[in-house]
Each structure stands twice: as structure tokens, then as C-alpha cells.
Structure 1
Amino acid sequence: MANGRTRARPKVEGVASADRLLTVLTAFRRGDDALDLAELAARTDLVKSTIMRLCVSLERFGLIERIPDGRYRLGTEIARLGSVYLQSFALEAHVIPVLDRLVAASGETASFYIRRGEHRLCLFRVDSPSPLRMHVRPGDLRPMDESSIAQVLDRFDPVHGSARPVALPLFSHGVTDPHVSSCAVPVFGAGGRLVGALAISGPASRLTGGQVAAVAALLVESAATLTRTLGGDAGC
């Protein structure tokens, strides 16, 4: 404020219907995939008919999705809000310098992706200095395909992932585009939560298996450094 003083919070009451909506939304816990009405009722102390009406409103805003078997799961709007939250804590200030170093060392494009529903969202990107590169912009959505980036977001996701160990970085070529290769590693936050995928991508003619081997150690160490910066355990 202009006078440097903090404005006092107005003394107003909350809205009961909003409280109930948020009670349903915050009933979801780490590791949940989808919840049925009985489980939501047990966690919220609300009756099922009330939960169903609340979920209609939550669905309208993309905060909850009702799947064919009648259960509910968090919607893609949660992922969008999550990305806004991450950015609000200066994630960009931590990620961009890492991407800059990867580009300087590899000569290829470096990017940071998060999962958004059944898509992967390019959150940050620093382009290769070469004019021959894949043109993806921050904010672009790509499918959850067999690319190295999508594989990282899928394998290390606490809901969809697999406990099977895998050698890093993951490498793919010709998935999104027949002329593009990529390699990617996971980045974790506090509590072992997957934050996103750190990746290097470029033309398959340049980013070969041999080139990936040359930059693999740097990519893995960059992800470990970023994980520690974000409060995670680099040993995840």
C-alpha cells in the first residue's frame, strides 16, 4: 500500500456453501486416484446427495471430474492452478538458470514440463541457438505419448507411476516428430512430490544416443540440484 501500512482483514463471515465445496475438494489426499461417494461422505461428514450437488458445481469449473464408474477425481483445472502456484513461488527463478546452463553445455533446447491431466504442459523453455529446432512455446500442451518427457511424468507420478527402477535420463526419438529426439529426468519437491520433467531436445541428427551420453551426467546433476533447491531429496 502507498502508506506502507498493512490493511486489516475485514471482519466478515465465510459462506457455508463455499465451505462445503472446499470440504469436498480438500478431501482428496496424496496417492488418491478417484473416490466414490461413500469415501467422500466418510471424509467430509456430508450426506451423499449434498456431495453430488457440490460435485456438479466443481465439475463445471473443471476442479473435479466424474469418471464412467461413478467415482470422482481431481480435474485438470487443479493442475493449472498448481502451475500458477508453483510460479508464484518463483519456480521460474530457479528453473531458468538451470535451462540456460543446459543449453550452453549441449547446444540444444532445454525445457521444463509438468503434467496437466492427459497432457504435458511446457512450463519453461530456453531455445537452442541453432535455427534448426522444434518450435514449442511455454504454455503449449503436448500429448502424454511415448516421448522421454511424457514417460518421466508418467513413471514418476505417485498415482500413475511404476515403482520399477529405470536408468536416467530417459531417451526417445521420432515420437512427437520423426526428426526430433529428447532426453528427460524427473525433478522432485518436498515429500518426494514430482514437480516436473527437466529435458533436453533437438534434431535427431544432432541429439543422438552418443550426444545424450555426453550430457547425461550434467542433466541428472542439474535435476538433482533443482530438486534440492525446491526442498526435495535428490536421492528420490
Structure 2
Amino acid sequence: MAEKAKRRPALDGVASADRALSVLSAFRKGDRTLPLAELADRTGLVKSTIMRLAISLVEHGYLARDGDGSYRLDAEVLRLGTIYTQSFRLEAHVTPVLEELVARTGETAAFYVRRGDQRLCLFRVDSPHLLRMHVRVGDALPLDSSAIAQVLRAFAARPLPDYVAALELPIVTMGATDPHTGSMAAPVFGPGDRLAGALALSAPVIRWTPEALAAARPILAEAATALTRRIGGETPEWPRAAAE
């Protein structure tokens, strides 16, 4: 008689681990400490359960308990965050977004970062069109009046300049770097709401018809917001007329 195939058991999480993680996840941006009552409100756990979980979390360095009985995140969280940051591969997140932009718009997509007084093309996926701007990965261009340079200048500053609130994103410029090329760019933010770079589309000006611009702007705005979320950032609040 043939041996019956063994069925793999369904794997379930450990309830106590789930509860402990929910306590850590209760901390939000700007929180220095949280009292026990606030942790209970945010997690839905009873106070006695939180106190038992906190004993282990304090012992392993994830939480610290202040003199007033409130809790704060401790050094182990920072250590793991540092390891994550060091092992984080930006390319793995950016390249699929660039490929999708090219597929949806037919134009060249690129990701730029600022290096001093220049903008560096860090990643790029070319348009299938033969007529396109030939910039290579690693090329450094000046921080001119192009849409990409404007994004890198405006959103790198802290606090953000007052004029940023009036910008219509993505920014569009025609002929700023090359008289035959136009581009549009939007900011991408990483952890801590710091500017990670500029996500851009470029094409010959003859292809940037009003219809093409109107179609591409919300696509680029959506991609920049999605990439920001993927790399752990949060888009600051400002008017984004092009994405609405």
C-alpha cells in the first residue's frame, strides 16, 4: 500500500510574540514615551498583559521604563534599525518603479541624487524609442534650472522653503538642460522624511504634447509616492495639484 503523502502543518504565529510586537508598533513618529494607559488604548491589550510583555522587552533592550512608569523605545530597536539601513538596497526598490514608468509612459525614467553642486544619475531605464536623451548611469550633470535639479534643491533643504508650498508637482521643464529635451520630476523621501532623490521622466520636447504631459504627470506622482512608502519614507503634506 502506497505511503500517504505527508501534509505540511499550517504554521501559525505565536500569540505572545504578536502581542509583544504590537506594543513596539504602538510607538509613532514624535513619541518619546508612552504611558501604560496610552499603550493599552493603541494596542487593545489590557494593562496587566502589557506590563508582563514589557518585562521581557525591557530585559532584551527593546523598551526602557522611566521613573514615572511610562515606556520608551530602547537601544536594541536602534541597533536593528541601523543594521536594516546598512543592508538596505535602494536599487532593488527603484528599478522596478523605473521599469513600470517606462512601460506605462513609453519614456525614459531615471532616479537622481544630489552630489554637491551636481545631480547624479543613479538609476535609469531607457525608453524603447530610438530618439531619446542619452544620459548614462553615473553621469553627473549641473544643478541647472531643469525639473530634476529644482526638486533636488528645493526638497533637500530643512525646513522646506516657503515657495515649496506653491509648487505644482511633478515639476515640468522644457529645454532647460538641452533645447530638444523636456523632463518632469517629483521628490522621493526616505526614513526621517529626508529627500532620497528625484524620480524623473525625460523625452524629446516634440513628444511632450499637452496630452502626453497630462497623462504622464499623475503616473509619475503616483510612482514617487509609492516609492517613498517602499523605502520607509513619508511624503510631507503640500499641495500636489498634478496628482489629484
TM-score by length of 2: 0.59
1:174 equivalent in structure 2 = 175
Deviations 1:168-219 (Å, cap 9, x if unpaired)?
0100011111000000000001111000000000000002343121111111
2:116 equivalent in structure 1 = 117
1:199 equivalent in structure 2 = 200
Counterpart of 1:205 in 2: which secondary structure?
A: helix
Cα-Cα RMSD:
1.9
TM-score by length of 1: 0.61
Q: Distance in 2 between matches of 1:215 and 1:155?
A: 22
Q: Distance in 2 between matches of 1:189 and 1:206?
A: 32
1:108 equivalent in structure 2 = 107
In the superposition, relative to structure 1, how do residues 202 and 87 fare at CA in structure 2: closer, same or farther (>3 Å)? farther
Q: Is the Cα contact below 8 Å between 1:120 and 1:142 reproduced in 2?
A: yes
Larger Rg: 2
Q: Aligned letter for 2:181?
A: V
Q: Is the Cα contact below 8 Å between 2:193 and 2:235 reproduced in 1?
A: no
In the superposition, relative to structure 1, how do residues 168 and 87 fare at CA in structure 2: closer, same or farther (>3 Å)? farther
Q: Is the Cα contact below 8 Å between 2:110 and 2:199 reproduced in 1?
A: yes
**Correspondence list, 1:1-236, <5 A:** 89-159=88-158, 162-164=161-163, 165=165, 166-236=167-237
Displacement of 1:89: 2.0
In the superposition, relative to structure 1, how do residues 161 and 233 fare at CA in structure 2: closer, same or farther (>3 Å)? closer
Deviations 1:89-115 (Å, cap 9, x if unpaired)?
210010000000100111100000000
Q: Distance in 2 between matches of 1:149 and 1:192?
A: 19
What residue ranges of structure 1 are gaps of 5+ in the alignment? 1-85
1:28 equivalent in structure 2 = none
In the superposition, relative to structure 1, how do residues 180 and 87 fare at CA in structure 2: closer, same or farther (>3 Å)? farther
Q: Distance in 2 between matches of 1:231 and 1:163?
A: 25
Q: How many percent identity over aligned positions? A: 56
Q: Is the Cα contact below 8 Å between 2:152 and 2:197 reproduced in 1?
A: yes
Q: Distance in 2 between matches of 1:87 and 1:104?
A: 31
Q: Distance in 2 between matches of 1:158 and 1:138?
A: 25
Q: Distance in 2 between matches of 1:162 and 1:233?
A: 18
In the superposition, relative to structure 1, how do residues 141 and 118 fare at CA in structure 2: closer, same or farther (>3 Å)? same
What residue ranges of structure 2 are gaps of 5+ in the alignment? 1-84, 238-244
